[in-house]
A and B are shown apart, each in its own frame.
Chain A
Amino acid sequence: MKTLKLGLLRGRMEIKVFMRGRESVVFTLLFPVILLFIFGSVFKNTIAPGVTFSQYFVAGMIASGLVNTGFQQLAITIPMEREFGTLKRLRGRPISVSAYFIGKAYLITFLMILQTALLLGFGVALFGLEMPTSSSKWLTFTWLIVLGSACSTVLGIAFSVVPKSGRGASAVVSPIVIILQFFSGVFFVFSELPTWMQQFAAIFPLKWLTQGMRSVFLPESFATQEVAANWELGRTAIILVVWLIAGLFLAIKTFKWSEE
């Protein structure tokens, strides 16, 4: 009970700190929105009957927004908190590590909702994105967001032990995210990528999230354009759950309070 209360208290504090940091707001929250404007405005070509690249891109961008706010944000900020002693100071207090994680999850949930709403809003208003009409599509959208953000969060915490220093974290993490975005069909149409790239991307959750989001936002007829000629939602769910469990296990096993 105390843990949950402290976790929520930390979450509210983390949101306050996040929103006050100009860099974090611009690079984490607004960067996908900025990319949406650039790519959406440049590539207006039609890639299939009734489907423009802008629509394709927005669907992928909503998926990769989950990676930006969860994985990228945590894998960069946790090493900094470790280096600057924030975590060490916390460890000397009557607060459990779970409360710290609940605080992070609270922040990430807030950011994901905000970012998804922004991307959806601009996508619909400017780039011809159509909101799903059936309840089954909304259901798919919801479980993709929930599983995708949970996956992204635990993997971000697990990956936070990889950067050697807080200052260098961004240089390690950002390229990985950008390469994954290129390979997973965010910036290009996935089915047009080289096969080895597709197969590599299929190991990681982002490819499955983007495909899932396309099933929500693109017409049903587009499914035949996918590599498997199918949205593969069942397989997507399984792969995300596997990553979630693996990530959770790694996050708990490898988490450390300080660098020593």
Chain B
Amino acid sequence: MTISTSSEFAIEINGLTKNYGDKFAVAGIDLTVSKGEIFALLGPNGAGKTTTVEILEGFRNLSSGEIKVLGFDPATKGEAGRSWRNKIGIVLQSTTDAADLTVQETVEHFSHYYKNPRDVDEVIDEVGLREKAKEFARNLSGGQRRRLDVALGIIGSPELLFLDEPTTGFDPEARRAFWDLLNKLRSEGTTIFLTTHYLDEAEALADRVGVIANGKIIEIAPPATLGNRANAPARITWLENGKIQEIESINPTAEVQKLMSRLSGEIPQLQIIRPNLEDIYLRMIGENR
């Protein structure tokens, strides 16, 4: 199978591998990401997330396979590579450099690299650093520092944005604000490829989730149906004979009907618990150890 040249995909990956000696960090991945989609790559540490992302970003060479990012080979150097980079936004997993430049100066400086930069003040507002605009980058907290990284990732109005664990160190409020920002970017047509540890983040944002373990994709699906989640048994608990009773069932409605007739009326402390994304994910990862 060869990669099509059509433009509906932002990312096309075919049989991607990356090995260091006989150790495969990426052991054969096939994946496409549509334009305008938010795709989340989930996986434990060392599963191959960052290696995959860094190959897509052009930071590492692949060992075998074929990739196209915005219809382009990320390993291309020179002028053509730079015009491609003009359309790409990258937020690396961690940058610890903190120059003696203020937030405002840093964002402003990087805006000059791009053909169509976003408005500097608007970007600072969007990542919630308005009050810190005059602060030196080295004086920012971890979460604020991360938001500056995000600002530098979106300053060039990218068509495709890579985010490697973007919200590490965010407080819950900042994370919500960040999700709003990503949804806004999506509504403007930006394609987003993110890796994350946070399952609630993947669930809240992603159109599709890919689970990766040992360098292989286990499954790709929308968060609601991942791991056959829609058909997975639900847990039903209630109070009876002074004890919490528990059953698992794929037909919870029928079970509740039975309970209603048996207990005649209100069922004390009734709960129906669907497996959340984390349960599904942990089960999938556990099966692939």
A73-114: which residues lie under 8 A (CB-CB) from chain B?
81, 84-86, 88-89, 91-96
Is A6 touching B113 in the complex (CB atoms < 8 A)? yes
Known: A6-B113, A85-B95, A88-B59. A20 touches B100 (CB 8 A): yes
C-alpha gap A188/B242 in the complex (Å):
94
Interface assignment of B118: CB less than 8 Å from any CB of chain A: no
In the complex, chain A residues whose CB is within 8 Å of the CB of B95: 84-86, 88-89
How many interface residues does B have (CB within 8 Å)?
28
The chain A residues found within 8 Å of chain B, CB to CB, are 6, 9, 13, 16-17, 20-21, 81, 84-86, 88-89, 91-96, 258, 260
Q: How far is the CB of A87 from chain B (nearest CB, A)?
A: 9
C-alpha gap A81/B57 in the complex (Å):
20
Interface assignment of B86: CB less than 8 Å from any CB of chain A: yes
Is B86 touching A9 in the complex (CB atoms < 8 A)? no
In the complex, chain A residues whose CB is within 8 Å of the CB of B170: none
Is B101 touching A13 in the complex (CB atoms < 8 A)? yes
Among residues of A, the one whose C-beta sits closest to the C-beta of B108 is A13
Interface assignment of B33: CB less than 8 Å from any CB of chain A: no
Cβ contact of A17, chosen from B96, B99, B114, cutoff 8 A: B99
In the complex, chain A residues whose CB is within 8 Å of the CB of B96: 84-85
Cβ contact of A92, chosen from B88, B97, B100, B114, cutoff 8 A: B88
The chain B residues found within 8 Å of chain A, CB to CB, are 57-60, 82-83, 85-86, 88, 90, 92, 94-101, 105, 109-110, 112-115, 152, 156
In the complex, chain A residues whose CB is within 8 Å of the CB of B92: 85, 88-89, 92
Is B112 touching A92 in the complex (CB atoms < 8 A)? no
Known: A17-B99, A85-B92, A85-B97. A94 touches B86 (CB 8 A): yes
In the complex, chain A residues whose CB is within 8 Å of the CB of B98: 84
In the complex, chain A residues whose CB is within 8 Å of the CB of B94: 85
Is A89 touching B152 in the complex (CB atoms < 8 A)? yes
In the complex, chain B residues whose CB is within 8 Å of the CB of A91: 59
A-B interface, 3 closest residue pairs, ranked by CB to CB distance from nearest: A84-B97, A20-B100, A85-B95
In the complex, chain A residues whose CB is within 8 Å of the CB of B105: 13, 16
Is A81 touching B85 in the complex (CB atoms < 8 A)? no
Is A94 touching B112 in the complex (CB atoms < 8 A)? no
In the complex, chain A residues whose CB is within 8 Å of the CB of B115: 94
Among residues of B, the one whose C-beta sits closest to the C-beta of A97 is B77
C-alpha gap A110/B97 in the complex (Å):
24
In the complex, chain B residues whose CB is within 8 Å of the CB of A260: 60
In the complex, chain A residues whose CB is within 8 Å of the CB of B109: 9, 13
Among residues of A, the one whose C-beta sits closest to the C-beta of B89 is A92
Is B113 touching A94 in the complex (CB atoms < 8 A)? yes
Is B112 touching A6 in the complex (CB atoms < 8 A)? yes
Among residues of A, the one whose C-beta sits closest to the C-beta of B58 is A92
Q: How far is the CB of B137 from chain A (nearest CB, A)?
A: 10
Is A93 touching B110 in the complex (CB atoms < 8 A)? yes
Is B82 touching A96 in the complex (CB atoms < 8 A)? yes
